[in-house]
Amino acid sequence: MANLKEIKARIKSVDSTQQITKAMKMVAASKLRRAQDRIMQMRPYAEKFDEILDHVNEVASGVQVKRDFAQVREEVESVLLVVITSDRGLCGGFNTNVIKQAVQRIEDNYASQRDAGKLTILPIGKKAYEYFAKNKYVVIDKYYELFNDLSFNSARLVAEYMMEMFIEGKYDQVDLIYNEFKNVATQLLREEVFLPAQPREEEEEANKDAKHGGMAIDYIFDQNPGALLDELIPHGLKMRFFRAVLESNASEHGARMTAMDKATDNAAELLKDLNLLYNRTRQAAITTEILEITAGAEALAQ
């Protein structure tokens, strides 16, 4: 009977766990809808803004600006690596994949900067902060709780910090590593050079030219082009960073929803096996008792 008690305790435990995973799946689904709406509304604006900025840069090439965010340094001595994870776990390999990718990028590209103490990690999300702080990296601990107040204003402060440090020469390059949201079950790891500002990919440029019939757009500037770019470029960089954060946020909820759905299904399978084991053990115990009673009766009769 002790075995039956243990099995019943396991059934009760798994059933409780299943109820928790079901609740977490529903919460993640609710949060995902809001996060997905935000990123879907953000993408067209960000893409159109980048397109316009590319055209303006092309037309106004050679125009002097106050702060050159596109300046490529001859030697990359100091690097800021922005790693975007989540604040909580239970979302499958979402956080692990980002951290592994960041560590791999450091080993492949920035090992010398790390050894010289010239590599700095700016974590967004508690999981990234805990990992890199624990492993003795140089960590900026000012912005990792960004998801507690996820808004453009809060993301803008982080982007402005990175931009100021780049202009002042504290960092020669700023990279982003995050998950891009594709759908509920799929998140794509992204590595981007945030600063110096890079032109868009050739494929996107080709699509852009196709939309305009392969003809360059001739802008008429109502004011000094340099003054216009001084406003547009920083705003474009802030929007690019905010988009990366929103992509990661939607990816997190999608990953958690998928993970909790699988956990719920696994709990159901385990409950099925445990109930079958319980019934078999109970039947075996009853059979044993009947045999003992029969044997006892025969002994008394003799």
Query: What confidence tens digit (pLDDT) does each residue in 269-287 have?
Result: 999 999 999 998 888 888 8
pLDDT the model gives residue 291: 82
Residue from 130, 151, 171, 157 nearest 245 by CA: 151
| Range 266-273, long-range pairs (CB < 8 A, 24+ positions) | 267/14, 267/15, 267/17, 267/18, 267/21, 268/18, 270/14, 271/11, 271/14, 271/15, 271/18
Chain-centroid distance, C-alpha 263: 20
Residue 179, SS3 per DSSP: strand
Q: Which of 65, 79, 82, 91 is catalytic?
A: 91
Say if residues 72 and 173 touch (Cβ distance below 8 Å): no
Give me the residue spans of the domains in the chain.
2-25+260-301, 31-256
pLDDT in tens, 88-121: 999 999 999 999 999 999 999 999 999 999 999 9
Tell me if 94 sits within 8 A of 187, measured CB to CB.
yes
Relative to beta strand 119-124, strand 186-195 is: unpaired
pTM score, two decimals? 0.85
pLDDT score recorded for residue 203: 42
Domain 31-256 sits in CATH at 3.40.1380.10
Q: Does residue 91 carry a catalytic annotation?
A: yes
User: Could you tell me which CATH class the domain 2-25+260-301 is placed in?
Assistant: mainly alpha
